[in-house]
């Protein structure tokens, strides 16, 4: 486990933020450079069939050490970090024994990690915690997952008495900008099912996520001098406001939780003459998801009747769907993880993802792929932290998953 922390600290210092405005694969060259370093490390550990393609998808195999045929399990993590907050010049700090009070991340800027603002810190009193210096994100999302997967593979290689079937690993680019599964070759990967190691606090197990759509709306107004505007002006910004007010006001991210869906206004740019707005639409329930999309279409149709045909134009695109539909027929893989967590001394916390995951798209591409924890908290922010013991438990759960998979077949 000593290498686990060393790996993680080395990885987070490499800036691999993805870039949504880029049209290349991967979206930033630093991701490919990082994957090249990982490919060398994977080969040194002893994995086989190491392959990094031009799009930044890195795959490798740990061959089985048993003769019996058991399902091939995959483990997946992503190399990019979020563009939501800077990931340049990450300076991780280890607090050896969290004492239950404010952690001073940066003395010059007086940046604190406070249990008052983040009460879950109190779960880790007496434990070592890795955080940032308060000026960048940490990058545990998802470099903790990479470090945990590779450490688990090394444990298996160095302990051949732990019996296992064939294991596949993959590290992908651009998950944070929704492209991580775009060019993933499921057939080449060759797993019967897989797990993204990309979740949050210890024990998290997720096999439900939002159904998701994006909506881009353009509104054409009519700008005339305000002194002579009566019955002539069409203020496109006010029409956009009217549209937003016609949506259910309690179905916004700031008013919803658990299985509740929402409309989220993500962009508003306009003048009197022309306005563009963007929304994302989310709901775990497929029927409610369809109703949300239908309502937006009806609102647009109503405004076009009121203000004139072509005033409001809507482009709506489905982004991903709830993986539960694909996981339920193979629910034994969820039972496998729950058993592995219990044997590793981790309490399973099954919860829905209020977001998306590469695993959701991969599940619809034929690779059932729920999500398990890394141990991290406060992703995408200066307050990101991860307890070292949670990372160690993630490694043990990965090892237990493959061990139980082989053991069940042998029994």
Helix (H) or strand (E) holding 169: strand 167-172
Strand-pair partners of 263: 281
Average pLDDT over residues 95-106: 94
Distances (CA, A) of 225 to 222, 230, 273: 10, 10, 12
- Which structure tokens are listed for 152? 């688990």
Q: Which residue has the higher pLDDT, 357 or 24?
A: 24
Please list, in sequence order, all residues whose beta carbon lies within 8 angstroms of the beta carbon of residue 301, skipping any fewer than 6 positions away: none
Catalytic residues: 80, 175
The pLDDT, as a whole number, for residue 310 is: 96
- Is the confidence at residue 186, as pLDDT, over 80? yes
- Is the confidence at residue 411, as pLDDT, over 80? no
CA distance 67 to 159: 17
pLDDT-derived band at 311, boundaries 50, 70, 90: very high
Average pLDDT over residues 53-79: 97
Where exactly does CATH 3.40.630.10 map onto the chain? Answer: 2-208+323-410
CA distance 130 to 88: 17
The pLDDT, as a whole number, for residue 4 is: 98
pLDDT-derived band at 395, boundaries 50, 70, 90: very high
Mean pLDDT of the chain: 96
Strand-pair partners of 52: 58
CA distance 299 to 277: 14
Cis peptide bond N-terminal to 142, omega within 30: yes
The pLDDT, as a whole number, for residue 409 is: 62
**Phi and psi at residue 52, in whole multiples of 5°?**
-120, 120
What are the pLDDT digits (tens) for 139-183? 999 999 999 999 999 999 999 999 999 999 999 999 999 899 999
pLDDT-derived band at 103, boundaries 50, 70, 90: very high
What is the percent of the chain where pLDDT is above 90? 97
pLDDT-derived band at 410, boundaries 50, 70, 90: low
DSSP 8-state assignment for residue 325: H
- Whole-prediction pTM: 0.91
What kind of fold does domain 2-208+323-410 have according to CATH? Aminopeptidase (3.40.630)
pLDDT-derived band at 187, boundaries 50, 70, 90: very high
Class of domain 211-320: alpha beta
DSSP 8-state assignment for residue 228: G
Place of tokens 């908290």: 377
Cis peptide bond N-terminal to 37, omega within 30: no
- Is the confidence at residue 344, as pLDDT, over 80? yes
The pLDDT, as a whole number, for residue 378 is: 96
Please list, in sequence order, all residues whose beta carbon lies within 8 angstroms of the beta carbon of residue 357, skipping any fewer than 6 positions away: 196, 198, 206, 209, 323, 371
DSSP 8-state assignment for residue 173: S
What is the percent of the chain where pLDDT is above 70? 99
Strand 48-52 with 58-62, pairing: antiparallel
Strand 349-350 with 204-206, pairing: parallel
Distances (CA, A) of 319 to 77, 102, 267, 282, 322: 20, 40, 17, 10, 11
pLDDT-derived band at 357, boundaries 50, 70, 90: confident
Q: Is the dihedral of CA 41, 197, 394, 63 positive or negative?
A: negative
Place of tokens 């392959």: 51
Strand-pair partners of 174: none
CA distance 307 to 290: 26
Where exactly does CATH 3.30.70.360 map onto the chain? Answer: 211-320
CA distance 142 to 161: 30
Percent helix, strand, coil in the chain, to 5, is 35, 25, 40
- Is the confidence at residue 315, as pLDDT, over 90? yes
- Which structure tokens are listed for 8? 């993680």
> Which of 236-250, 295-309, 322-336, 354-368 shows the lowest per-residue confidence on average (mean pLDDT)?
354-368
What SS3 class is residue 165? coil
pLDDT-derived band at 110, boundaries 50, 70, 90: very high
DSSP 8-state assignment for residue 172: E
Distance of CA 323 to the CA centre of its chain: 14
């Amino acid at each position: 486990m000593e290498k686990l922390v060393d790996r993680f600290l080395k990885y987070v210092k490499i800036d691999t933020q993805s870039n949504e405005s880029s049209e290349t694969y991967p979206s930033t060259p630093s991701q490919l450079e990082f994957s090249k370093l990982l490919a060398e490390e994977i080969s040194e550990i002893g994995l086989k069939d190491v392959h990094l393609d031009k799009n930044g998808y890195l795959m490798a195999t740990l061959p089985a050490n048993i003769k019996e045929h058991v399902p091939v399990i995959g483990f997946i993590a992503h190399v990019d970090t979020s563009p939501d907050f800077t990931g340049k010049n990450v300076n991780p700090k280890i607090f050896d024994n969290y004492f239950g009070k404010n952690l001073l991340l940066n003395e010059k800027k007086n940046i604190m990690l406070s249990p008052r603002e983040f009460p879950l810190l109190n779960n880790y009193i007496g434990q070592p915690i890795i955080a940032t210096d308060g000026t960048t994100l940490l990058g545990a999302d998802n470099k903790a997952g990479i470090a945990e997967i590779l450490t688990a593979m090394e444990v298996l290689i160095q302990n051949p008495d732990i019996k296992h079937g064939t294991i596949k690993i993959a590290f992908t680019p651009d998950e944070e900008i929704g492209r991580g599964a775009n060019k993933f070759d499921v057939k080449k990967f060759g797993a019967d099912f897989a797990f993204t190691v990309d979740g949050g606090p210890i024990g998290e197990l997720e096999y439900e996520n939002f159904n998701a759509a994006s909506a881009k709306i353009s509104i054409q107004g009519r700008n005339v001098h305000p002194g002579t505007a009566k019955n002539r002006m069409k203020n496109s910004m006010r029409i956009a406001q009217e549209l937003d007010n016609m949506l259910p006001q309690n179905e916004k991210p700031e008013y919803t939780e658990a299985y509740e869906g929402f409309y989220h206004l993500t962009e508003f740019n306009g003048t009197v003459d022309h306005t563009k707005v963007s929304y994302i639409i989310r709901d775990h329930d497929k029927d409610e998801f369809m109703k949300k999309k239908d309502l937006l279409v009806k609102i647009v149709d109503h405004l076009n009747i009121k203000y004139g045909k072509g005033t409001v134009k809507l482009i709506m695109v489905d982004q991903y769907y709830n993986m539960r539909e694909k996981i339920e027929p193979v629910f034994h893989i969820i039972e496998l993880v729950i058993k592995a967590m219990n044997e590793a001394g981790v309490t399973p916390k099954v919860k829905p993802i209020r977001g998306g995951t590469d695993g959701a798209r991969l599940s619809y591409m034929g690779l059932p792929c729920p999500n398990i924890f890394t141990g991290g908290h406060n992703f995408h922010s200066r307050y990101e932290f991860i307890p070292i013991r949670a990372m160690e438990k993630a490694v043990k759960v990965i090892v237990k998953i493959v061990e139980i998979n082989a053991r069940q077949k042998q029994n």
